[in-house]
Structures are given as structure tokens and as C-alpha cells.
Structure 1
Amino acid sequence: MKHARRVGLPLGIAGVTALALTGCVGDTAPSSSESPGAAPSGDCAEYADYGTFEGAEVNVYGTILDAEAERLNESWAQFEECTGIDVVYEGSAEFEAQINVRVQGGNPPDLGIFPQPGLLASVAGTGALLEAPEGVAANAQEFWTEDWQNYGTVDGTLYGAPLMASVKGFVWYSPSVFEENGWAVPTTLDELDELTASIAESDVTPWCVGFGSGEATGWPGTDWVEDYVLRTAGPDVYDQWVAHEIPFDSPEIATALDRVGDLIKNPDYVNGGIGDVSTIATTDFGEAGLPVLDGTCAMHHQASFYEGFWPEGTTVAEDGDVWAFLTPGTEAGAPAVTGGGEFVGAFSDDEEVVAVQTYLSSAEWANSRVSLGGVISANSGLDPENASSPLLQSAVEILQDEATTFRFDGSDLMPGAVGAGTFWTGMVDWISGGDTQSVLSTIEQSWP
């Protein structure tokens, strides 16, 4: 989701961390009307190309809340000091619905942080979003792969660059429990099946799983399916499935879902520390992995962002309380991952709005935000060392590795009625006893 236009290209310096907020605008900073492009001194020099503004305000609307919203505001604090732009962020759990209401009511934000490319595309279809300005387009080409650029592109027009990212398909486990039992991290899906069977013979349940997420219940199940479609059927079939060039209930999709079912619908394999298979549908995804810590379950499938769900004091490291490996492929050493991210789209082309949008597409911003902790970005100008943990550093390296086959979360790319509708509810029906073919056929029939 993207923006408007530009006020000078950013400098593109990698490795920038959060800097001291000193001597930036104040009485010495000229307004853009007085001397645009004047170079501030000291720490503000790297922001000179964005321009300087007196009393300008840019409002940004998105889904990011609570502590993450505080870090977001901190990530652009020096940019505000040095440019004179007040970036006012509003977070909402109702963004997906309210962004359409605000657009239709003629009251859109200056910038929207879209959590799904599909939503970006639907809003772009109204004509309300503006084409990405020159600076954003240049940053997108420099710092993101063609795939990531395409996720912010609708009918050949780039509307913006990505913001943050996540790597999905991690399997969280306790290194000490694995070591005590002689269990090795699997390198193929077959080995993962074998490991699951071995764990089931011990006094530990192999998997703990939760599909619960309030009104969004079911989405963790879609992540399982997407991971397995990509790994068992390959990226071409994955793309065809997401674009509905093949039916949702195609044999390749049924095969992937059945293979997931072999693990998480088997009463001997789930739901460690929680209950039986029936508890998966109602167990909150954020709490579902916690039995890993007390050894009542061995593994939990969830994205890189799950690091933030472990209790305070939990050490996330290869020799710590918890660690994670990527769901492997059918062959060893075949890196294929699904993931997600946000995109910034603009409803205004005012110079200060363009400046903010361009900054958010830069390597400087990516390094500033990631250094504050808890998130990663697919921006190639990001220094992995700025990530706040070894796990997140490895996730950045996965995204930056040219050998990685990356695909965006499929449900986020599908029409909302499916991706955030029947696909979610279908996973609840399936885990609650529905058979694979009937569930997939129902989702197929719902495709608009």
C-alpha cells in the first residue's frame, strides 16, 4: 500500500540505528517555503533531502496498536525533529472496514498502512489511492525484490513500497527437551513426520495448536495450508491457487491439507497441554504455544512475530528456553517460506505527505524501526544485526537470501470474502471434523 510523490530522494544509508533527538528543527530550521532543501547540521544532515517544513502535519492510519504503535512513533521521531513534520499515527483494530468507510465518506487519512495487498488493491480500485511518487518507486526498486514490489502494484501501477515483514512457518520448540530426548531438527517434511511419530511414543505430545483469534478465528489454519501448498506443490501452483487460476479445491491443495491433517487432526499428536483435537478451534493462537515451555508439547507452528508472545524472561536462543526452525521442504536445503507485511498507500500528494511516505520506504527507516525491537523488514538495506534477537536476525537473513523462494500469505492476497472469510471459517470447520474435499469445495464455491 503506497503513497503520493516526492520531495527529494532519501540517502539510503543502511545500518542506521535510533539516533539522539538533538538539535534538529527548533529555531534554526528553515521552512520549506523559505529555503527548501537546505541542509541541516549534525544528526539532521541525512534528512536534508526530504525538505524542511514548519508546522506541517501528516496523519497515518493503520492496524498497529499498543506497544508496537509506541515503537512506530519512536521510529520516526528524529525525522519529525529534523523536517518539522508532525506525524500523527492512529491505530485501529477495525482498519480493514473503516478505511473503506473513510474513503467513501471523503475523509481518508494522508497515509494508510495496509496489512494485506488484497485490501490495497481493492482500495486502489476506487481511484482514491495515488500512484507511488518517484522517491518511493526508486526505493522499492533498490531495496525490495520484484516479488515484494509486485505486492504493492495493482494493474501495473506501483502504489507504494512495503514497510515491515514477518516470516511464517517457524516451528517453535524447547532445545533442552529436544536434547534430553535425542530429537534432531528435521531437514525435510518426511523427517518432520518421522519426528512427530517418535515424539508421540514419549510422554510428550508432539504438537500444540490454536486457531482462535476472536473475529479472525481460523487464520492460523490458513498459514498451515499455505506453508504446505508452497512446499509440496511448488511456487507456480501456489501462485495459480492464490490467483484462482486453478480451483481452490484442486488435487494439489487437497493433498497439502491432508498432509497437515496427518499431523494436527491425529489425536495422538495434539493438543499437548491443552486438550484433544476439538480444542484447537477455540484455543487462542497467542496462548497455544506456551505448553512448549513446560514440556507438555514439543512443537508449535507460528510466525517469527510469535517471539513476542513468550512470557517476559523467556530466552529465545539456540541454547535458550525456546528456539525455532523453519518448516522444511520436501527436499533438504530447499528454502521456501511464506510471510506477511504491511504496505503504505497515500491519499494525498502534499509535499509533506510525500516526504513521510518516501522516508518510510527507505533503508534509514527500516533500520531505525527494527533496531527498536520486535519486528523485521524485507528491505535489503536493513542490517540484520539491528534485529533484536538471533531468531529475528535469522529471519532477516532468510528474507535477504536470493536463494529463498518467498511467497506472501495467500489469504492476504485473495479476495476478502475468501481470504478473510470462507478460508478462515473453512479451517474451523475442517479442524472440527469436516472432510478435506467438502471444506475446500465450499470455499471454492464462495469465490467471487
Structure 2
Amino acid sequence: MKRNARFAAVAAGVAALATVAGCSSGGSSGTSSSAGGGGSAAALTGDCAKYQDYAGHSGKTVTMFGSILSPESDSLNSSWADFSKCTGITIQYTGSNTFESDLPVKVNGGNAPNLAIIPQPGLLAQMVATGAVKDPPAGTVKNEDNWNAAWKGYGSVDGKFYAAPMSANMKSLVWYSPKYFKDNGFTVPTTWADMMSLSDQMAGKMTGAAKPWCGGIGSGTASGWPATDWLEEVVLGKYGGQVYDDWISHKVKFSDPQIQDAMKVITDWLQNPKWVNGGVGDVKTIATTTFQNAGLPILKNECGMLQQASFYEAQWPKGTKVGPDGDVFAFKLPAVDPSIKTPVEGGGEFVTAFSDDPAVQAVQNYLSSPQWAESRIKVAPGWVSANEKVDQSLYTDPIDQLSAKYLADPSATFRFDASDAMPAAVGAGAEWTGMVDWFGSGKSSADVAKAIDAAWPS
């Protein structure tokens, strides 16, 4: 994850959607709401009729906490606007750039939100261990049939399901400028060797501050997470799924040969002073550049490529055309070892409840439905759902289409973000710190690995 720290674009903010029950029929009585187990619900009419299952809680406010900030949170709020208008439930969303550290404090202090958008299965397990996480309602459990079984596993702890997936994102992308490539005769690489050769070719032609690659791992208290993604991409793309899984469980340690070798690949790639940090400075500036700003030099032809996830689309300035013939686009990051079949790293978010109030459960059920996912798709370019019932034709954004292509590929070697699946003390703690030390202070990969391994819970 991160995806929350990742999606953070500006300082933390609060967005509340005031709602009215203007679509409900004031006079008729309805049946008990199937969504949250509430009392009698007035019948909803017209365009609001489709929200009948969630009715019966008008006037209630449901608090939600996450790390998604503006501009990402703007579309999040828009996605449930009609739901709120029709049901009368106000969803009050608060975003924080320090979500990963704030949530445990809130929960342990008895000030938990009604719902939290958690991007790390490791953090989910930590919250379940507090005893504060509530079981999902029947409607959410039923909706889970709309996902690949693996996603239910990521939302479960010790085999028990707690949190439904909210989104999916494609990590294995490289952003670039199609126009810059065309003007300079560069071809999108399809193998790792081709990508390294292209980097050398670019370095030979670029002048001044321009470099083949740019990057930034700054993200508030979550600084370092982009570099964990880089390491995950290399481990999966060079050693495949079994080593990757064993790494998550610590059967393979950070200090073991496979991970040290993967770190060497990154040293030659994104710590290569001839190749980074385009438009910004030397290698160490990667540690101080925010991930939100990392790709902006591409728009100035000062950076050739940025390895970053599909959700980075939300960070391009307003008016930036994204597409094969646009200002920016992306290609699939090639496998380091071509024998690894289509390695794809993905991430996602999971809606976790700290309250079993009927209004909260109504929101929980709605957010796990294809109905909500389709609403979000319509207002959020760069956002992809893992819900298999979603109408795929709704993806009109080229990055969404590219992401969905690989995320839905049954032959791909797909794995969830490793650091998000590791214990929170490691994946959302020691590894983030270690990556900052590695890039920013020049700490050796052996010393970084030793510190991360030492943080693993016994």
C-alpha cells in the first residue's frame, strides 16, 4: 500500500457529503432494509428505486477513514453522491497522509471510524487482532462471490473473511511520453534487456538535467513505499510466484540470495547515476521527491520513464492527455526473466468495519456491490474494480483498459503487493524506512536487509 498513502496528492482533508432523502416516497411504508437490518424503510421511487435495498437509515452519518486524498478523494465522494441523496445516509470521508500510523492510534484509543479503507492485508490483520473489527453483514458476504477467490483471501485473517475489496490497481506499468518516444525514434520495450538498452540509448542522447528515469518515494509517514514496489516487481519478474510467496511469509528473508540479487538489479537500474533522477537531481533526490511529483519531468522531456502504478494517472495535471497518442501513456513492465509468464503485481483496498450499526452495514453492502463499482468507474479514470460483475465496457480510459487486460489475464503470474501482505511492522514500517535509507543515505543493501529482517515479528 500504501494505496492510500499512495493516492495522497495533497495535505489531508475532510470531505462530507450532505444528503437529502429527496427521492424517497414520504407516505408509503416499506419492508425492513435488507442492507443493514434496520427498521421499516419508505419506498424509493424513480431513479432512487435501485437503492431500495439500502433504505431505512435516512438522517444517519457514517464516518469513513482512509489515505485517499484530493484529487482522488473528489471522485470517491462523487461515486456515492446519488446513493446518499436517495438513502439519506451521509458518508463523511476523512483522508490522511499518515493513515497507516493514525488508524491504530484511533482504534486503540476507542475513536475508530465506522469504516476504514485499508490497503494492506498486514494492517488488516493488525486491526483484527485488536478485536475491534466487526464481521461483515450478509449482503457483503454474498457480494464476495463477485470476486476471484484470491481477493477474498486477501480480505481474510486466519481464514475468516472480514473486509471486501474496494478496488484493484495495476502496479506493473511504466509511464512515458509517446510523443517524446516518437520524436526520438525510441520503441516501447517488450523485454527487460530491451528496456535496459533503451535506457542506455536515452542516456546517450539526453543533456542537462534530463535522464532516462525519474522517481520519488516521498509520501509522508509512508515514505519509501514506491521503492518496495520496485523491489517486488523485480522479485516476481525474476524469480516467479513461489519465491515471492515465500518472501511474504519470511521463508525467504531479505538477506537471502534471491532478494539481495533483486536489490542488485534495482541498484543497476534505479540507482544508476547515469539514468536517474531525470529533471530533479542525483540518486539521493529520489528519497526526497514525492511520488506525486515524480513523473512530472516526463511532461518537460526531462525524464524518459517512470515505473509507477495505474493509479498514478490521477497525479497528472488537469488537461494532460493520457493515451497511445497522448501526452503520457504506459506500457507493461517486462519480466526480468523472460521465462516468467506475464508477471503482474497488483494492489487494492479493503473496506473494514469498526461498527455494526445498520446504516454502516448498508454502506458496507453498497460499496461491495457492482452497482457502486460502476458508479466509481464512471467518475474516476485510473480506477479499476476487482468485481467480476462490473460491465467491462464502462472502462473507456486507456489506462483502465490496459490494467484490466492484465489484471484479468488468467495466464498471468499475478501476485498482490508483497509489502502490503507482510506484517504491518515490516511492510508498512521497517521496509519503508529501509528503502528511504537505501536511496537517501546510501545504506548498503545488506544492511537494509538485515534491519528489515530484524523487524519481523517473532
- Cα distance change of structure 1 residues 30 and 443 upon mapping to structure 2, 3 Å threshold: same
Within a 5 Å distance, the mapping from 1:36-75 to structure 2 comes to 36=40, 40-75=44-79
1:135 equivalent in structure 2: 139
From 372, 380, 396, the equivalent of 1:373 is 380
1:180 equivalent in structure 2: 183
Q: Kindly indicate whether residue 95 of structure 2 is the aligned counterpart of residue 91 of structure 1.
A: yes
Secondary structure, aligned partner of 1:298: strand
Choose 32-41 or 315-324, whichever is displaced more.
32-41
Tell me the percent identity: 48
Q: Give 1:121 shift.
A: 0.9
Moved over 4 A (4+): 31-39
Q: Give 1:394 shift.
A: 1.8
Distance 2:25 2:94 in 1: 25
* Structure 1 unaligned regions, length at least 5: 1-20
1:360 equivalent in structure 2: 367
2:450 equivalent in structure 1: 441
Conserved 8 A contact 2:71-2:314: no
2:255 equivalent in structure 1: 249
2:415 equivalent in structure 1: 407
Q: Give 1:149 shift.
A: 1.1
Q: RMSD of the TM alignment (CA)? A: 2.4
Q: Give 1:29 shift.
A: 6.1
From 219, 243, 265, the equivalent of 1:237 is 243
Within a 5 Å distance, the mapping from 1:194-209 to structure 2 comes to 194-203=197-206, 205-209=211-215
2:12 equivalent in structure 1: none
Within a 5 Å distance, the mapping from 1:285-434 to structure 2 comes to 285-329=291-335, 330-331=337-338, 334-374=341-381, 375-387=383-395, 389-431=397-439, 432-434=441-443
- Cα distance change of structure 1 residues 48 and 214 upon mapping to structure 2, 3 Å threshold: closer
- Cα distance change of structure 1 residues 446 and 39 upon mapping to structure 2, 3 Å threshold: same
Conserved 8 A contact 1:23-1:42: no
Over residues 94-142 of structure 1, what are the superposed CA-to-partner deviations in whole Å (9 max), with x where a residue is unaligned? 4333332333333322222223221111111111112222221221122
- Cα distance change of structure 1 residues 74 and 414 upon mapping to structure 2, 3 Å threshold: same
From 138, 145, 154, the equivalent of 2:157 is 154
Distance 2:347 2:250 in 1: 20
TM-score (norm 2): 0.86
Secondary structure, aligned partner of 1:124: helix
- Cα distance change of structure 1 residues 193 and 314 upon mapping to structure 2, 3 Å threshold: same
Secondary structure, aligned partner of 2:136: coil
Secondary structure, aligned partner of 1:437: helix
Distance 1:29 1:92 in 2: 42
- Cα distance change of structure 1 residues 87 and 205 upon mapping to structure 2, 3 Å threshold: closer
1:11 equivalent in structure 2: none
Secondary structure, aligned partner of 1:401: coil
Q: Give 1:335 shift.
A: 2.4
- Cα distance change of structure 1 residues 332 and 390 upon mapping to structure 2, 3 Å threshold: farther
Conserved 8 A contact 2:215-2:291: yes
2:174 equivalent in structure 1: 171
Q: Give 1:24 shift.
A: 1.9
Distance 1:65 1:26 in 2: 35
Q: Give 1:439 shift.
A: 2.0
Distance 2:429 2:355 in 1: 31
Secondary structure, aligned partner of 1:371: helix
- Cα distance change of structure 1 residues 28 and 112 upon mapping to structure 2, 3 Å threshold: farther
Secondary structure, aligned partner of 1:369: helix
Q: Give 1:32 shift.
A: 5.8
Choose 229-238 or 287-296, whichever is displaced more.
287-296
Query: How many residues are treated as equivalent by the alignment?
Result: 427
Conserved 8 A contact 1:430-1:439: yes
1:6 equivalent in structure 2: none
- Cα distance change of structure 1 residues 230 and 79 upon mapping to structure 2, 3 Å threshold: same
Distance 2:435 2:57 in 1: 50
2:23 equivalent in structure 1: 24
TM-score (norm 1): 0.88
- Cα distance change of structure 1 residues 70 and 196 upon mapping to structure 2, 3 Å threshold: closer
Q: Give 1:292 shift.
A: 1.4
Choose 288-297 or 313-322, whichever is displaced more.
288-297
Q: Give 1:382 shift.
A: 2.5
* Structure 2 unaligned regions, length at least 5: 1-19, 34-38
Distance 1:199 1:94 in 2: 37
Q: Give 1:435 shift.
A: 2.7
Within a 5 Å distance, the mapping from 1:267-286 to structure 2 comes to 267-286=273-292
Matching residue's letter, 1:304: S
Conserved 8 A contact 1:111-1:344: yes
Matching residue's letter, 2:138: E
Distance 1:259 1:336 in 2: 16
From 79, 83, 91, the equivalent of 1:79 is 83
1:16 equivalent in structure 2: none
Q: Give 1:343 shift.
A: 0.8
Distance 1:86 1:140 in 2: 25
Matching residue's letter, 1:392: D
- Cα distance change of structure 1 residues 33 and 425 upon mapping to structure 2, 3 Å threshold: closer
Over residues 318-348 of structure 1, what are the superposed CA-to-partner deviations in whole Å (9 max), with x where a residue is unaligned? 0111111121112289322222221111122
Matching residue's letter, 2:350: F
- Cα distance change of structure 1 residues 205 and 161 upon mapping to structure 2, 3 Å threshold: same
Q: Give 1:371 shift.
A: 0.8
Conserved 8 A contact 1:32-1:53: no
Q: Give 1:73 shift.
A: 2.4
- Cα distance change of structure 1 residues 205 and 77 upon mapping to structure 2, 3 Å threshold: closer
Matching residue's letter, 2:136: A
